[in-house]
Amino acid sequence: MADVVFKNISKIYTGGVKAVDDFNLEIKDKEFIVLVGPSGCGKSTTLRMVAGLEEISSGELYIDGRLVNDVPPKDRDIAMVFQNYALYPHMNVYENMAFGLKLRKTPKDEIDRRVKEAAKILEIEGLLNRKPKALSGGQRQRVALGRAIVRNPKVFLMDEPLSNLDAKLRVQMRTELAKLHDRLQTTFIYVTHDQTEAMTMGDRIVVMKDGVIQQVASPQEIYNKPSNIFVAGFIGSPEMNFIDGHITVKNGKYFINFKDINLALPEGIAKTINPDFINKDIVIGIRPEDIHDEEMFLETFPEYTFNAKVEVVELLGSETYLYLQYDGIPLTARVDPRSVARSGDMVKIGFDMNKIHIFDKETTKRVMD
Amino acid sequence: MRKRYILEVIDGYLFLLPFIISVAVFLIGPLIYAFFLSFQNFSFLTPQKAQWVGLKNYLDLLHDPVFIKALSNTAIYAVGVVVIELILGLILALIANSNIRGKTFFRVAYYIPTVTSTVAVSVIFLYLFKADGLVNNILSRFGIQGPVWFNSVRFALPSIMMMAIWSSVGTYMVIYLAGLQDIPVELYEAAEVDGANEYQRFWSITLPLLRPVIFFNLVVSIIGALQVFDQAYVVSRGNGGPLNATMTVVLYIYNKAFSEFDMGYASAAAFILFIIIMALTIIQRMIFKDETN
């Protein structure tokens, strides 16, 4: 139970590679924070700096108000779950979990109590005498978690803990981790490259790229108001559609324009746009689920519609993806499975203009509230 | 189906045939013949006079003071060399595996003696440890009167042991090094986060995970040590002197077979060595049961 504060943290490797650049963040006590980004974005390095496994090149790191830059890992009161579990292969499950406590000279009966309690929470009581090689991936994952839980640390660090599990187990463990966080009431710092994990688990998400924080916000805000093109494209699947275009004003009314298409912007949205960007090069972003082909929408908002060619249709059962093209611009739409569009068809589609995102083409930053 | 299976088996053995023939002719055959000879009074010079003597060779050997001396020399040599080699090899491997400067140099430096011919090494050591050689020369500067090493009953065997350790510790270092690099870094990191200091990490992570490698090194070095021959041969010019101080079992077997041409007796001695090595290996396998599978 502790807050973690990063002040201008940087990590520069010998050879001058900047893995983390001027990282500033305040993680609140009991918060579940997720660092997410593509590989090489510095998220794991950041986590390892918190663990003390990586030296901090510059800046200050505080755990529970204490400056820990030069504190060795064992004195930071943190526990870490590694991507490949890092279970000690020569120890059985019980010994694996008890190891950290033994080193801290915890009394034997106290160790026993804590290990059994953690085993109960994680439902691995029956496995305590087994060696890691006799466990399945999911069971190993639980043991790795157990090893962290018994220590009762101030901060839990997790480095892609679910990436070695199969898809089904990953979904299951996701909810279990969230439950575990509720139960333990401890600060969690969680690293992943999987945006679904980030969206479903985090209280707040930190999106990183090339060692720099792109945005820190709640999952909803990250999704609904991405601060730049990178975040917009990284979060959400299928990816957001991006179209080069302009904002134009005619008779006091705002339009977005691309190719020969002009779509009116609702007044509510128009008001939030930075007027400096009128007639400038911008990038229009629209999520696949905000492109519609159902009759209801097209009739209600005829001014938001145009015709596009269907190239591929993917039926997923609960939803259908349409891969469309308009004058060389590829568009992906997530539509109702009842859609009758088939590949080769020309179909009428409409953008939900209330859900539109506008970015500066030059800086890639969002130019609306 | 059945016919196809048989054809496949024949194919397989045909591919194995060159190996089977060479092993049979040069290894199994001589082995069986030697076993047969060990119950005979057989000399190269007069093979027609060979006669069956039953266990006489074996019984005589157990009362042969030179053979007993050779056994005890070999045992002392094996214990000393194996223990020091394994510990020193591990220490060198830990150094070569750490992040010190010039570790590549150390790795090469320690390994070079291993790829050098043992005879060449023995000759160099003979010069170094001569009565007026480099070693005694250096000792004399500190006021120490060095012994006549290889000609001293007391120092001859330890000198050979030092030489053996020097020349083979590199092999064990390299095998240890491979074992050390097989241990995932995350385990050390996990232990570090768990609160283990460097010493605790060595005892609870490095050593247990190195057990299969230690076992392998132990088996190989014991077998090697029990078969010590060339250093003893070169240093004593083949006679195991002074006063049998460097007489080893294999040297004894060699002398019996190829100096005295008493093949039956030599074969019996060879089989006693075989039984000892076999027994030790079985004991090791039992102790290190986990590691052998």
Q: List, in order, residues 6 or more apart from A181 with CB less than 8 Å away.
A: A32, A188
Which pLDDT value is given to residue A45?
A: 94
Closest CA to A221 of A209, A234, A204: A204
Rounded distance between C-alpha atoms, residue A222 and residue A206, angstroms: 9
Cis? peptide before A238, omega within 30° of 0: yes
Closest CA to A357 of A231, A251, A203: A231
Q: Is B191 on the interface with A (CB under 8 A)?
A: yes
Chain A residue with the nearest C-alpha to that of B205: A88
Domain ranges of chain B: 55-292
Q: What is the DSSP letter of A344?
A: T
- What six digits make up the tokens of A277? 């960007």
ipTM over the 0.90 cut-off: no
Using 50, 70 and 90 to split pLDDT, how confident is the model at B292?
very low
Judged against a pLDDT cut of 80, whether residue A228 lies above it is answered with yes
Which pLDDT value is given to residue A310?
A: 95
- Three-state secondary structure string covering A199-237: HHHCCEEEEEECCEEEEEECHHHHHHCCCEHHHHHHCCC
Is the CB of A86 less than 8 angstroms away from the CB of B192? no
Using 50, 70 and 90 to split pLDDT, how confident is the model at B293?
very low
Strand partners for A322: A313, A333
pLDDT in tens, B99-134: 778 778 887 888 888 788 877 887 888 888 887 888
Residue A73 has its nearest CB partner, among B184, B193, B204, at B193
**Lowest mean pLDDT across A195-199, A281-285, A322-326, B138-142:** B138-142
Q: Are A336 and A294 in contact (CB under 8 A)?
A: yes
- What six digits make up the tokens of A321? 């993806």
> How close A161 comes to chain B (CA, Å)?
13
pLDDT in tens, A127-176: 999 999 999 988 999 999 999 999 889 999 999 998 888 888 888 888 88
What average pLDDT does this structure show over B279-288?
Answer: 85
What average pLDDT does this structure show over A357-369?
Answer: 93
Is the CB of A100 less than 8 angstroms away from the CB of B208? no
Give me the residues of B, 5-44, that contact A with CB < 8 A: none
pLDDT above 90 as % of chain A: 77
Pick the more confident residue, B156 or A219. Answer: A219
Pick the more confident residue, A181 or B143. Answer: A181
What average pLDDT does this structure show over A58-77?
Answer: 93
Q: Looking at this protein, which amino acid is placed at residue B63?
A: H
**Lowest mean pLDDT across A11-15, A292-296, B232-236:** B232-236
pTM score, whole prediction: 0.81
Using 50, 70 and 90 to split pLDDT, how confident is the model at A110?
very high
Triad A336, A339, A340: Cα angle to 5°? 170
What is the CATH architecture assignment of B55-292?
Orthogonal Bundle (1.10)
Residue B187 has its nearest CB partner, among A78, A88, A104, at A88
